[in-house]
Structure 1
Amino acid sequence: MENSYADYETRRRNPDPRNAALLVIDMQLYFQGIASPIIPTIRRTIESCRAQNIPVVYTRHSHRDPSDYGMLGEWWNEVIHDGTPEAEIMREVNKKEDDKVIHKHTYSAFYNTDLEKYLRGQGKTEVIVTGVMTNLCCETTARDAFLRGFRVFFSTDATATSNKDLHDSTLKNLAYGFAYLVNCQRLEDAFAAKVSA
């Protein structure tokens, strides 16, 4: 069956391992129910990127107190509290001791964090976005990266949200104006082709 976003995917490109960083967005215990189905593909994506010496950056969304809730406190019935088990990154995504972790308290991983400074310092001009939720933190981070001048690659099978409609709507929007769509297999094939070239 053809993907519902195929009509919008008019541009195709693969990331350059020399210029790319992998962003693993909010793979925390709080989101375990949503995130569990993509664990196999996100792990494969992480392993593929590590094999290409692409740095892996994890984000962790949580709130210390009501002063940093912002509009999320109004929008949602509950927030993730820092220091609770739900705020911790899932062990299944294989975070290494020296991987960069970005603590954030809103949808974008760039807002009031040092993510852009870190990426620029590493000489990275491209980001590959994976994680949860497709239509909230992943999409907002992808759009923000685009506006900051990063080339954005967005995973179709290593991102997840609460339903297919929201997931596909994000993929359509991003393919139309912000990001090159990739999936785990496409990344593996692209990296293998670079190695053999």
Structure 2
Amino acid sequence: MTCSALLIIDVQHSFLHQPFWDEAEVPAFQTALLSLIEQCRQREVLLIDVFHIGKAWPFTRDSGLIERLPFLTHQPAATFYKHVHNALTDSGLEEWLRQKQVDHLIIAGMRTEQCCETTARVASDLGFSVTFVTPATLTFPMTHGGITLDSTELKHRTETVLIDRFARISDVEGCIQSLDATDA
């Protein structure tokens, strides 16, 4: 029997204070994430909050910004703090998941191509089954070498490198249907 956990990664106040913060895609992200959380909660999927703590403000512990954004009102089964891009290697989360016999991780949160993608890759390498729910992730345009990738392009790139290698790519409805099929 599969035991699943939803990782809600880095949905924290720190990002509101970054120069790249843009509200344009936040409403769709909020809707998808809240739907995913509620439907997972109804199915008794473990809800896990993960927050990033860094060395520079606004990610320092003493910034007062390492707390979830106010639209999130769920009760997490546990909360973990990480200092690297993935949620598993330095937070104690992997050990906790193993104790709970979790073998399937659902990935959602902020910075699609960074902490969410990195967590999916590491989770797969550690033997977890991974579902990456792209609409329940949020990112912002990035520029390198004079070329800017918008959020849609970054999400597509992330899906391209994860699919059939590290994760099953899904929307909220597909993720929930898969959970229901597994439980049936």
Give the TM-score taking structure 1 as reference length. 0.77
Residues 1:36 and 2:15 aligned together: no
Q: How does 1:143-162 map to 2 (within 5 A)?
A: 143-162=121-140
Partner of 2:160: 172
Residues 53-84 of structure 1: per-residue CA shift (max 9 Å, x gap)? 11001101113xxxxx4xxx7xxxx6511132
Partner of 1:99: 77
Look up the equivalent residue of 1:177 and give its one-letter code: R
Tell me which of the two structures has the higher relative contact order, counting C-alpha pairs closer than 8 angstroms and 6 or more residues apart.
1
- Of 103, 116, 120, 2:94 maps to 116
State the Cα distance separating 1:90 from its structure 2 match: 1.1
Which structure's residues are more often helix, by fraction? 1
State the Cα distance separating 1:158 from its structure 2 match: 0.3
Partner of 1:22: 6
Which structure's residues are more often strand, by fraction? 2
Q: How does 1:51-130 map to 2 (within 5 A)?
A: 51-63=42-54, 69=55, 80-96=59-75, 99-130=77-108
Question: What secondary structure sits across from 1:93 in the alignment?
Answer: coil
Look up the equivalent residue of 1:153 and give its one-letter code: T
Look up the equivalent residue of 2:5 and give its one-letter code: A
- Of 32, 39, 46, 2:37 maps to 46
CA distance in 2, matches of 1:194, 1:21: 14
Q: Which moved more, 1:126-135 or 1:180-189?
A: 180-189
State the Cα distance separating 1:183 from its structure 2 match: 1.0
State the Cα distance separating 1:164 from its structure 2 match: 1.7
Say if 2:104 and 2:128, in contact at 8 Å, map to a contact too: yes
CA distance in 1, matches of 2:114, 2:5: 20
**Residue 120 to residue 44, structure 1, CA distance change in 2 (3 Å):** same
Residues 1:137 and 2:121 aligned together: no
Say if 1:43 and 1:94, in contact at 8 Å, map to a contact too: no
Residues 132-169 of structure 1: per-residue CA shift (max 9 Å, x gap)? 11000000100000010001110121011112211110
> Root-mean-square deviation (CA), in Å?
2.1
Partner of 2:146: none
Point out 4+ residue stretches in structure 1 off by more than 3 angstroms: 32-35, 188-195
CA distance in 2, matches of 1:114, 1:27: 19
Count how many residue pairs are aligned between Structure 1 and Structure 2. Answer: 167
Percent of pairs with identical residues: 28
CA distance in 2, matches of 1:95, 1:56: 8
State the Cα distance separating 1:109 from its structure 2 match: 0.5
State the Cα distance separating 1:106 from its structure 2 match: 1.4
State the Cα distance separating 1:194 from its structure 2 match: 6.0
CA distance in 2, matches of 1:179, 1:187: 12
